[in-house]
Amino acid sequence: MITLYTYNTPNGRKISVALEEMGLPYEVKVIDITKGEQFGEAFLAIAPNNKIPAIVDSDGPDGKPVSVFESGAILLYLAEKTGKFLPSDVRGRTAVYEWLMWQMAGFGPMPGQVHFFLGQPEGPARDFGLERYGKETRRLYGVLDRQLNGRDFVATRGEPSIADFAILGWAWRHERHKVDLSEFPAVKAWYERMLARPAVAKGLEVKLA
Ligand SMILES: N[C@@H](CCC(=O)N[C@@H](CS)C(=O)NCC(=O)O)C(=O)O
């Protein structure tokens, strides 16, 4: 059994979507980050960076429990555990690594800063932050739009990969970071394609808070 320590956020949703798609049984332990529960000692033992998501798999690779933090590492762990959503050939895997790292390094941190600055009091600091990170977020949506042009999924053909689940977690919050998907038609078509998958819909709806 996998225990998912999480909250209702983009990084949290990546993992509930992946677990649903992989058909792995899991239980949710809500870590309420609005109440500072991510700083609790028990959570720190499995998530040294004090951030959700994290998992504990009671049936780790050697049969013993294993904990994993960082959503990208969790997605890779789950893909390797199940043999799903990560191609077996090096060329195919490398494309998934590229887009997974692209998400982790940019298409998450940048819209995350837009969310942060939207919550700041009006003034020059807020305006500067929204200009800087809003522009970069839109640039990243443009990159994704070019990649998805003529493709069903970001890094694979035929079926999605863990890179799609990672990117979806943030695209799921496009309204919050003020992105109109109609300006990025290939992203919009991909987003609708992903949402039409029953396991994705379940992963986005399951109670995480
Ligand atoms: N790189 C980390 C980022 C995780 C992250 O930023 N989690 C946020 C919620 S989406 C969090 O726990 N925030 C609480 C805090 O910053 O105190 C990952 O992908 O797992």
pLDDT of residue 187: 99
pLDDT of residue 130: 98
Q: Considering the entire predicted model, what is its pTM?
A: 0.98
pLDDT in tens, 155-194: 999 999 999 999 999 999 999 999 999 999 999 999 999 9
Helices assigned H by DSSP within 48-195 = 71-82, 90-105, 109-118, 124-148, 162-171, 185-195
The closest residue, in CA terms, to atom 13 on ligand 1 is 51
> Confidence band (pLDDT; 50, 70, 90) for 140?
very high
pLDDT of residue 192: 98
Q: 87 is written with which tokens?
A: 């191609």
What percentage of the chain exceeds 70 in pLDDT? 100
- The closest alpha carbon to 52, from 62, 64, 65, 67, belongs to 67
Please tell me if the CB atom of residue 111 comes closer than 6 angstroms to any atom of ligand 1. Answer: no
Please tell me if the CB atom of residue 76 comes closer than 6 angstroms to any atom of ligand 1. Answer: no
pLDDT of residue 98: 98
